[in-house]
Amino acid sequence: MKELLIIVISYTIVSHVCCCDFEYPTFPDGFKFGAAISSYQSEGAWNVSDKGVNDFDHWTHTCPECIGDRSNGDIACDSYHKYKEDVKLLRKIGFKFYRFSISWARILPSGLANNVSKDGIMYYKNFINELYMNGIEPLVTLYHFDHPQGLEDMGGWTNELMTQWFVDYANIIFTEFGPSVRIFITINEPSTLCTGYQATYVAPSKPLGDVGYYLCMHNVLKAHAMAYHLYDKKFRPSQHGLISIAIACDGYTLNENNDVVSAETYFEFTCGIMAHPIFIGDYPAIVKERLALVSKSQGYTVSRLPTFSPEWISYIKGTVDYFALNHYTSNLVSPDPDELHGIHNSDSGLLTNQHPSWPNSSSFWLRVYPDGFGNLLRKIKTDYNNPEIYVTENGFSDYGELQDYDRINYFRLYLKELIIAVTRDGCRISRYTVWSLLDNWQLAAGYAVSFGVVKVDFNSPNRERTLKLSAAWWADVIGTHTLQDVPSK
Ligand code: NOJ
């Protein structure tokens, strides 16, 4: 608490020297701020009690060289043991909700529903209870990339049976936690998850090329819809909750030729591939057309993009109660000139890059382009009939600095876009979630990049937490419900 006070006092002195330089500084009434984390990236305790081995345990243990710093999440932030401390930090900063995920293998060690771990259930019940005792609402992701290795051994998301295994797991989660949790997310970022069946960026790290990627996406959409309908029919009448799927949508900007067609194609290939089946029905036309064309030119007899039957199209359509949006960065989009010569270097037929003038971060893929966020919010409003949006992840990576001015600058610029989208453009955004509360294990980048507003000392067995300057900035933003300037150095 002392640390936070010192940071708040020094921050307040500088922050009041300057004031807000644009006309939308205040957040709408009822707007809520929270922070996010996920099980494998923070919990540690990989082999505690009867927890089963998951695909991330397996990947990092069998292929340490796949991770930049050869690290893993065996201990991570040790949040499994330190969750009470994490909850205190949330409370100190003022976050109103915490988005965290449940480790499938902690609940069902083998992945299948015949053996439920009492300890796993108890751990998350205690955690949820601790949140409520501190006035913080739980926002629960059922599945954030980590699934039991036993299921992966049977094909994971390339096996259609995974949809049933997921629904059996979801049934246990809704039964056990639904009475005390109002907001659920079924699956986090299918497009990131499914690169695990295409390349080696995330577990299970099976380089099955672009066949594996689309097969995974297809099964994930089905599994999500099945879990949604299960909740809707069996649990919603008594639990009255809301449920969605977290979709990763990058922003984009037109190239100098004002190429609207390429921009539209990019949106459909990245965001639309998940959002279109859910909000409109079926995959976007351009995605189906391009995949059919490119697959044929590669000698496939059928498109690498599987087809939904009319029954599945209507079953998947409408299966969210809000748009759960994960957003970090944007791309400049242009047509690949090779397409003119019938050469298809990519499924989308596009080239993407990030403008060198956009400030960079410690992640190779993340540059700061706030306009892209504003445009994306308006695009979602236009294309999907102005759904209620929860920003379920947004954040910036650096190298772990305590005086994290660049992170504050990022938040400030992106939140300004959010306020404009709400106030001026009528987007219905009601929650914003910081990724992340803590520095945590960042997939193939290991611990080399930091996203937390709280630093974790990964070299210390106690994993001490230290509030960064951005934590004080957030305390002020949340406390005043008003966007604040970046403190002067
Ligand atoms: C999105 C993912 O959901 C999260 O797990 C990851 O750490 C962040 N992107 C940052 O890379």
Name the residue with the closest Cα to ligand 1, atom 6. 442
For a pocket test of ligand 1, which of 71, 361, 393 has the largest count of ligand atoms closer than 8 A to its C-beta? 393
**pLDDT value of position 52:** 98
| Euclidean distance between CA atoms 59 and 89, whole angstroms | 31
User: How does strand 251-254 pair with strand 242-248?
Assistant: unpaired
**pLDDT value of position 466:** 99
Find the 268 Cα to ligand 1 centroid distance in Å.
21
**pLDDT value of position 254:** 82
**For the residues 6-26, what does the mean pLDDT come to?**
46
CA 231 to chain centroid? 21
Name the residue with the closest Cα to ligand 1, atom 10. 442
Select the more confidently predicted residue: 16 or 449.
449
**For the residues 408-415, what does the mean pLDDT come to?**
98
**pLDDT value of position 23:** 59
Give a yes or no: residue 254 inside a domain.
yes
Burial class (CB in 10 A: 0-12, 13-18, 19+), 246: buried
pLDDT by residue (tens digit) across 292-315? 999 999 999 999 999 999 999 999
pLDDT by residue (tens digit) across 120-169? 999 999 999 999 999 999 999 999 999 999 999 999 999 999 999 999 99
pLDDT by residue (tens digit) across 51-68? 999 999 999 999 999 999
Which of 393, 401, 417, 464 is labelled catalytic? 393
For a pocket test of ligand 1, which of 40, 397, 443 has the largest count of ligand atoms closer than 8 A to its C-beta? 443
Enumerate residues lining ligand 1, CB below 6 A: 38, 41, 188-189, 192, 326, 393, 435, 442, 451
Find the 154 Cα to ligand 1 centroid distance in Å.
26
* pLDDT-derived band at 255, boundaries 50, 70, 90: confident
Do 176 and 125 meet the contact criterion of CB atoms below 8 Å apart?
yes
Closest CA to 142 of 178, 112, 109, 92: 178
**For the residues 273-286, what does the mean pLDDT come to?**
98
Give a yes or no: residue 489 inside a domain.
no
Give a yes or no: residue 485 inside a domain.
no
Number of neighbours of residue 420 by Cβ within 10 angstroms: 18
**pLDDT value of position 201:** 83
Q: Which ligand 1 atom lies nearest to the CA of residue 326?
A: 1
Q: Which ligand 1 atom lies nearest to the CA of residue 366?
A: 11
CA 311 to chain centroid? 29
Name the residue with the closest Cα to ligand 1, atom 7. 442
**pLDDT value of position 22:** 57
For a pocket test of ligand 1, which of 103, 143, 189 has the largest count of ligand atoms closer than 8 A to its C-beta? 189
Give a yes or no: residue 488 inside a domain.
no
Number of domains in the chain: 1
Catalytic, 189? Answer yes
Look-up: residue for tokens 């809520």?
Answer: 32
Name the residue with the closest Cα to ligand 1, atom 11. 442
Which of 43, 152, 189, 268 is labelled catalytic? 189
One-character DSSP codes across 340-358: GGT--SSSS-EEEE--TTS
**pLDDT value of position 21:** 47
**For the residues 69-73, what does the mean pLDDT come to?**
98
**For the residues 15-27, what does the mean pLDDT come to?**
55
Q: Which ligand 1 atom lies nearest to the CA of residue 397?
A: 10
**For the residues 7-28, what does the mean pLDDT come to?**
51
**For the residues 247-276, what does the mean pLDDT come to?**
94
* pLDDT-derived band at 17, boundaries 50, 70, 90: very low
Give a yes or no: residue 220 inside a domain.
yes
**pLDDT value of position 19:** 35
Give a yes or no: residue 303 inside a domain.
yes
**pLDDT value of position 64:** 97
* pLDDT-derived band at 257, boundaries 50, 70, 90: confident
- pLDDT over 70 (residue 289): yes
**pLDDT value of position 24:** 60
- pLDDT over 70 (residue 9): no
pLDDT by residue (tens digit) across 315-325? 999 999 999 99
Catalytic, 152? Answer no
- pLDDT over 80 (residue 14): no
Q: Which ligand 1 atom lies nearest to the CA of residue 328?
A: 9
Lowest mean pLDDT among 22-26, 30-34, 352-356: 22-26
Q: Which ligand 1 atom lies nearest to the CA of residue 363?
A: 11
Q: Distances in Å between the alpha carbon of 210 and those of 13, 53, 456?
A: 54, 27, 37
* pLDDT-derived band at 112, boundaries 50, 70, 90: very high
Give a yes or no: residue 161 inside a domain.
yes
Q: What is the CATH number of the domain that holds 121?
A: 3.20.20.80
Give a yes or no: residue 11 inside a domain.
yes
Find the 391 Cα to ligand 1 centroid distance in Å.
13
- pLDDT over 60 (residue 377): yes
The whole domain housing 29 covers: 2-480
